[in-house]
Amino acid sequence: MNGCGGGGRARSGSYDGPVPETLPPVGIDLFDVERLLLAEAAEPPLPPQDAEARDRVWEMAVRANPTLFDGPVVACGELERTGPRIVRLSWVRVTYRHYALRRVPGATALPSLFVNVVQPTDDGRVLAARMSPSTAAPGRWQLPGGSVEPPRVGAVLDESALAGQAARELAEELGIGAAAEDLKLWVVTRGENGSIGLTYLAPVLPEATLRADFTAAAAAERVQGREPELDAIALVRSPDELVGLAGPHADYLEPIVRRFSGCR
């Protein structure tokens, strides 16, 4: 998971640098989307001096947080509307260190691309989750989700694959066993650094089920000697209730909660 690109364990989340206090929802774009048209694109050429500076920034980040991992992820090359509720998105294979370019003066980093999920309760609330201290964004409140990963050899990155990645994040982080076909693409967000989020809507679940699943998932991680990516969950009914969640918030969280509360 990654920052404004979704958040996640530091060893598997993109480098976003220091996390500021609660981010204001200024400049956050939300698009109602029912269909994605996906195409792979090549990574733009990077001047050697920018590559060297990127590597220095990345190495400093790893020294500060050894759990950071330079794994493969997908960045957004271009996003455009091609019709009502239809978006064309080109994607690019990069690794996590690519986002260290955000800390290189004069360099340009591609926007990150992530999936996340609105998990509602049967009484109309939305689940927000807090990142654990071992992640790249400790203490940040956000939706469950993660960075989009590139397809394996012989596979394709399409709408079904993206829904599958969103379902996997729900299972890994919260212990919720939603099927990919049960997740509906609901909104696309464009936020800080131009990061693109694909937000899915999950079937409603009772609060007791959510809390039991989360507790079980966290316990299973600790049995394996790992710290869970999330250390707390909260259920909120409106943007006003987000104020009570101390710590930084993902930039998309307030607009998404506001949109959902207005759609009920």
pLDDT tens per residue across span 142-180: 999 999 999 998 899 999 999 999 999 999 999 999 999
Evaluate whether 115 touches 162 at the Cβ level (below 8 Å): yes
List the CATH number of the domain containing 63: 3.90.79.10
Can you tell me the distance from the alpha carbon of 10 to that of 24, in angstroms, rounded to the nearest whole number? Answer: 24
Lowest-confidence range among 64-68, 77-81, 206-210, 219-223? Answer: 64-68
Instruction: Output the pLDDT for position 6.
Output: 35
* Residue 132 lies inside a defined structural domain of this protein: yes
Asked if residue 53 belongs to a domain, the reply is: yes
- How is residue 114 annotated by DSSP? E
116-130 pLDDT, tens per residue? 999 999 999 999 999
Would you say residue 1 lies in a domain? Answer: no
With pLDDT > 70 as the criterion, what percentage of the chain qualifies? 89
The amino acid at residue 15 is Y
Number of helices (H), then strands (E), belonging to the chain: the values are: 5, 11
* Collapsed DSSP state (helix, strand, coil) of residue 256: helix
Distance, CA of 189 to CA of 49 (rounded, Å): 32
State the total domains in the chain: 1
**Domain housing 84:** 10-20+27-263
Q: What is the rounded average pLDDT for all residues in the chain?
A: 88
Residue with tokens 């978006």: 87
The tens digit of pLDDT for each residue in 16-48 reads: 443 333 333 447 899 999 899 999 999 999 999
